[in-house]
Structure 1
Amino acid sequence: MSDDKVKRLKDKLENLPFSDYYGLKSPGLTCYLNSVLQVLFMTKDFRDAVKRSGDKNATTIDWRLAELFDALEKRAATTHAIVEFLRIANVYEQQDAAEYLEKILSLCSREASKIFRGELHYNATCLTCKEEKRSCSLFWLLPLSMGDSQRDADTVADRLDSFFDVQRVTGDNQLYCTRCERKQDANLECELKQAPGVVTLLLKRFTFDARRRRYVKLQHSAVVPRTLSLAGCTYDLYAVVNHVGTLTGGHYTAEIKSFQTGWWYCFDDRVVKSLKTKPFGEGETFFRTCSAYILIYRKVNRAPGEADGSDAAARFAPSGVEDEGGAGEAEPGDAPGLLNGGPGHASWDVPSPPRRSVSELDRSGVVAGWAPPPSPPSPPPPDDGRKHCRPSRNEPRQHKGRNSRREAAQTVTRKRENSPKTPWRY
């Protein structure tokens, strides 16, 4: 057989739409769940960890994931047990894939979830009295803001660098300083203290439009690099969760690179196909996409002297807590304790921020050094780049009369004047 015929045969075989993997048969419209489950299944370290800790007597989700992964290795599997464990009541309601990725990881054992867990350190400095407050938090994913312009594509690497830039808060965003006893301008700084084995980036495509008073989806393209350099470590892209459609109706799929074959596959609920067109061409170091929502990078080499990620989790675990089930363990997004910055910092005895994940907050949201207001008014919808449910139509309407509206406006004004600025943004 001639070389030309061999080459043509090879090209045809590579372009055949066959797959070495199986899809998921799920109830209703739960593509948001299917996409993240396939990402977890195609993450070898995570798959092996849930199988090792898959004790049916445990309170974690590990053994249910282990059963699902065992079935996926042989045939198309069903997700009914996972849906029931996650208490998804309405399987026909569109949900957020990033939210359920975090939810699954928070329900896993510490051993299984540690590959996705990193540690951030925060420092807030009052620009008037120079008082500093330091805190730390674990995270599952890092939310990256996207620009409003559709002309220029957002570069993921630049957005990631901006996440760690020093941020100055002024004007309406001032923070309350306990030493000055008033709201002051401040600098907020974020540092990656413990790099996870898998870095998950959330592109904040769903944002609140203040002019139109509703959530919208940003459809412009993003430049996604093949590799990332973070905290002296190199990461390689191996999974992309895509969302096509609009805020009110869309569909999730996952494109994942196999750790076994090195090929890219598209996981679309029950259908799994090898990609005819790979994200990166020969010699290309990036690609452009208008649908990428979650980017997952795997660490390919460690920084010199880097410790295992489990050390960070151990520092935040209360004494006497067993590893199984992760009960009592500090969750990503918490402020597990305040780090004293030296003499004169004992006055920063304030409660920790509310229990929320990092992706639900701005970078200033996890700084625990600024005292919260005693009775904050109802916060506006969170601008965390995700989809949110509309308010219920059955909610009672208030302040129908002219006098009632005037009294309500006066009450809100008094609260705003008498309450210090909340230190975190919802």
Structure 2
Amino acid sequence: MGPAGCAHVNGFKVDNWKQNLRLIYQCFVWSGTAESRKRKAKSCICHMCGAHLSRLHSCLYCVFFGCFTKKHIHEHAKTKRHNLAVDLLYGGIYCFVCQDYIYDKDMELIAKEEQRKHSCPNLERYSTWEPTKRELELLRHNPKRRKMTTNCTIGLRGLINLGNTCFMNCIVQALTHTPLLRDFFLSDRHKCEMQANSCLVCEMSQLFQEFYSGHRSPHIPFRLLHLVWTHARHLAGYEQQDAHEFLIAALDVLHRHCKGDDNGKKANNPNHCNCIIDQIFTGGLQSDVTCQVCHGVSTTIDPFWDISLDLPGSSTPFWPLSPGFDGSAVNGENHTTGATTLTDCLRRFTRPEHLGSGAKIKCSSCHSYQESTKQLTMKRLPIVACFHLKRFEHSAKLRRKITTYVSFPLELDMTPFMASSKESRMNGQYQQQVDSLNNDNKYSLFAVVNHQGTLESGHYTTFIRQHKDQWFKCDDAIITKASIKDVLDSEGYNYLYIYTYTVGMESIQTFFLITAHTAPILTEKHRIVDIFADLLTKKI
């Protein structure tokens, strides 16, 4: 089912609204005859500056034309509280409250009828194709057609290595296949307020357009590299850099440059920012410090973009598997003898840790310094969960790469690591909590970043998920098809999982993957991104 639509349209639909809307389309939008074109040229000028161009819009409530580019129509809407206007070039209806072009079935019908009646008779008419019920039924029962659709590879494009830039290329591949981020950039949602050619978000937007243009030749990301060097100077130079460090730096710059795109909406994440980066990647990490004398708990919640996990073999003592562990599959991972899993790493990350006598804290209840324990749990999960394995160890005495193989699942359930699960265990209601939240904390793997080689000399590649069961290996300019076994057997460094909010029998992730192949020809991209925005608000 589609969205309910713009709620502000009802304020316009009174009395003779259909007749008034038809007159606007007849006289000022669709100009088929010479007389109507002459009338439009004489009358359609901005009432504030007298310009003919600058994306003129006509107010639907009164006789007023204003420039959209120069914000004159916006000033009129704000002063008169006239929320709707029509684009005089394309006929789209704009809502100044929603700050977007809207879709209304009744208005669209009137627009199409008047366009057909007033189109120039000398020009060949092209009508939009809409499938009939019979055609939809045939498509639904044609397995060969479905196979053709799932083999589509739009969005797959190699990246030229500009000299030890595989660390950048592998993260760019992961970001360009992040569903919500892709749909944000393909719908032109960014409002740039920076100087020309200096905005990393504008360059990322252009990069997404290049990836989903259908071109197959490798792309040369020289402008992106220049902007990365400009905004993250610690990554400048032609020496090899760390892919995880680049990911965090890229998210930070994008976050800073996207702050003007939130339309003033209230943030619903621990970072208190409504930019697209924080909507997708920001989660809330809860830290509970418990006094060992009075058992008082001090709780803080901090935002995070990713979780860095320790590995066995590091200088940090690794948490052993749970007592009584029988080697069975947990979270979809196959536990072989002695093998470490991503779930093991997460269990260690969220285990209670005794801070010791050298790190006493002042208890707010005891009013004195006491020993305590600290435990980290997930208070709020992000839409995209990024996990980073600490494979590179740097210390005064040791510099090395930890090559421990870590098993990771295609589907990940984060319920055991939630703060709510910890509270349920304390209250003896854990099983009931697991049953109720199990479907709400599910994630699907869509990208794996790998590092081959040593600390001094290595190479980054990425596995990305194009469809439900189709994986591809991105090795700079070379894209090859990969099997699920290739992915699961790889030496992972960064894992990106997407939240799978289930709607009926289909997951949102499946819907994202379908829209990737319709993005270049979408005529209602803004409306589709609004659907995604609505889904973001439903995330717990």
- Whether 1:57 and 2:199 are equivalent positions in the alignment is no
Q: Are the equivalent residues in 1 in contact too, given 2:284–2:381 (CA < 8 A)? A: yes
Residue type of the partner of 1:237?
A: L
Q: Report the AA paired with residue 164 of structure 2.
A: L
Matched, 1:299 2:474: no
1:184 deviates by: 4.1
1:221 to 393, 405, 408: 405
How many residues are paired up?
277
Unmatched runs of 5 consecutive residues or more in structure 1: 1-12, 281-285, 304-426
Unaligned 5+ runs, structure 2: 1-147, 259-273, 319-336, 416-436, 504-540
- 119, 122, 142: which one aligns with 2:287: 122
Change (3 A) 1:123 1:268: same
Highest Rg: 1 or 2? 2
For 1:92 and 1:181, locate their aligned partners in 2 and report how far apart those are by CA, in whole Å: 54
Once residues 223 and 181 of structure 2 are traced to their aligned partners in structure 1, the CA distance between those partners, rounded to angstroms, is: 19
- What is the one-letter code of the residue matched to 2:385? V
1:19–1:272 CA contact under 8 A, matched in 2: no
Q: 1:175 to 1:248 in 2, by over 3 A?
A: farther
Distance of 2:369 and 2:199 partners within structure 1: 43
SS of equivalent residue, structure 1 residue 62: helix
From 157, 169, 176, the equivalent of 2:343 is 157
CA 1:219/1:67 → structure 2, altered by over 3 Å: closer, same or farther? same
Alignment partner of 2:245 out of 87, 93, 99: 99
Q: In the alignment, which of 457, 460, 469 is matched to residue 252 of structure 1?
A: 460
- Supply the distance in 1 between the matched residues of 2:155 and 2:199 (Cα, whole angstroms): 29
Deviation, structure 1 residue 252: 0.4
- The residue matched to 1:225 in structure 2 has which SS? coil
What residue is the counterpart of 1:78 in the other structure? 220
Greater Cα shift, 91-100 or 59-68: 59-68
Write the deviation string for residues 207-228 of structure 1: whole angstroms up to 9, x where unpaired.
2467xx1221111211111211
Distance 2:156 2:457 in 1: 28
Q: Pairwise mapping of residues 14-33 of structure 1 onto structure 2 (< 5 A)?
A: 21-33=156-168
1:104–1:140 Cα change, 3 Å: same
Identity percentage of aligned residues: 26
CA drift of 1:132 comes to: 3.6
Distance 1:165 1:105 in 2: 28
How far apart are residue 43 of structure 1 and its match? 1.2
User: Is residue 2:170 matched to residue 1:35?
Assistant: yes
Q: Distance in 2 between matches of 1:164 and 1:60?
A: 38
The superposition leaves residues 184-240 of structure 1 with CA deviations (integer Å, 9 ceiling, x where unpaired) of 421112221111111111111112467xx1221111211111211113311111110
Render the CA deviation track for 1:4-58: whole Å, top value 9, x for unaligned. Answer: xxxxxxxxx9xx9x99721112422111111011101011211111343333434
Is residue 177 from structure 1 mapped to residue 362 from structure 2 by the alignment? yes
Amino acid at match of 2:488: F
Matched, 1:66 2:205: yes
> 2:183 is matched with which residue?
48
- Counterpart AA for 1:257: R
- 1:391 equivalent in structure 2: none
Q: What amino acid does structure 1 have at the position aligned with 2:478?
A: V
- Structure 1 partner of 2:488: 287
Measure the CA separation in 1 of the matches of 2:459 and 2:465.
20
Letter in 1 for 2:401: K
Using CA pairs below 8 Å that are at least 6 residues apart, which structure has the higher relative contact order? Answer: 1
Aligned amino acid, residue 388 of structure 2:
L
Partner SS, residue 456 of structure 2? coil
Q: Given the two structures, how large is their TM-score scaled by the length of structure 1? A: 0.59
Offset at residue 293 of structure 1 (A): 0.2
- Structure 2 length-normalised TM: 0.47
**One-letter identity of the residue aligned with 2:299:** R
1:125 deviates by 2.2
Aligned-partner SS, 2:500: strand
Tell me the alpha carbon deviations over residues 116-166 of structure 1, each in whole angstroms, 9 at most, x when there is no partner: 111111121232454542211111111111111998321111211222221
